[in-house]
């Protein structure tokens, strides 16, 4: 590939997410070192607290969300740049009435997603 | 870093470009495998034909440009995804009356930019 439009790439539901889809814009087969994905979380959507075995470099394209990284919580919007180190627990919650959209780039290394149990009394 | 806004990152002129600035959003020191940069080419701006020793994975945030990759020429706009393999000649020319903005992610490997001579009769 050289050029493609984001609207031409299939979106698949993320099983561990809520109202969340993922598009692989540049796959591990297309790029030798890292893959570019786009996530869209509809209003009410998000992902529960989890870890990945690879780091995330992210850029917010639109919408707004509350996200947790380790013990910190942030509200993020268009133009925010996010770094999530490997193995650090993180979560996402759309807090707007529009889709929360972001790019997420990961290295071409084995990635395991581990959903962390919610603690409750 | 965990979260920063693109507007908080310094922009520097790209010496080999025309009316072109670069921001390092996530540096090679911050991310272990790849760096995220944002380029802005003002109207009339661009970069001459050149090669890099690393590949580029790019996402167009706004504006429009004509770009060359190898022997092919493309017109690109917001939402276009671009892959430029290492060592393949490429160039950019803003063709709109607004800034052409894109993300460009490169691996944390040595990168040499070589400007290619224009051929003329």
* Residue in A72, A86, A105 to test binding to B, most B beta-carbons within 10 Å: A105
Number of structural domains chain B divides into? 1
Which pLDDT score, from 0 to 100, does residue A91 have?
A: 97
On the question of pLDDT at A118 being above 90, the answer is no
Domain membership flag for residue A118: no
Domain membership flag for residue A83: yes
pLDDT tens digits along A8-45: 999 999 999 999 999 999 999 999 999 999 999 999 99
* Nearest alpha carbon to residue A92 among A53, A37, A43, A24: A43
Average pLDDT, chain A: 96
Domain membership flag for residue B8: no
Cα distance between residue B31 and residue B24, in whole Å: 11
On the question of pLDDT at A83 being above 80, the answer is yes
For residue A94, give both structure tokens. Answer: 């759309």
B13 min Cα distance to partner chain A (Å):
20
- The whole-number average pLDDT for the span A53-71 is 98
- Domain containing B54 equals 19-108
- Give the number of other Cβ atoms within 10 Å of residue A106's Cβ: 22
On the question of pLDDT at B59 being above 90, the answer is yes
Which pLDDT score, from 0 to 100, does residue B117 have?
A: 72
Domain membership flag for residue A114: no
Q: Which residue of A has its CA nearest to B72?
A: A2
Q: Which residue of B has its CA nearest to A68?
A: B2
What ipTM goes with this model? 0.95
* Residue in A31, A54, A81 to test binding to B, most B beta-carbons within 10 Å: A81
Find how far residue A64's CA is from the centre of its chain.
Answer: 13
Residue numbers in B near A80 (CB within 8 A): 3-6
Domain membership flag for residue A117: no
Which pLDDT score, from 0 to 100, does residue B118 have?
A: 65
Domain membership flag for residue B63: yes
Q: What is the CATH number of the domain that holds B75?
A: 2.60.120.10
């Amino acid at each position: 590939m050289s050029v493609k439009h984001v609207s031409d790439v299939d979106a698949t539901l993320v099983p561990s997410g809520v109202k969340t889809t993922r598009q692989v814009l540049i796959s591990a087969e297309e790029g030798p070192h890292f893959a570019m994905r786009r996530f869209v979380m509809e209003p009410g959507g998000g992902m529960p607290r989890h870890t990945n075995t690879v780091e995330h470099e992210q850029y917010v394209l639109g919408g707004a969300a509350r996200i947790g990284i380790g013990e910190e919580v942030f509200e993020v919007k268009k133009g925010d740049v996010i770094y999530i180190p490997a193995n650090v627990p993180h979560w996402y919650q759309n807090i707007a009435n529009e889709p929360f959209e972001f790019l997420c780039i990961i290295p071409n290394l084995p990635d395991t997603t581990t959903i962390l149990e919610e603690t409750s009394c």
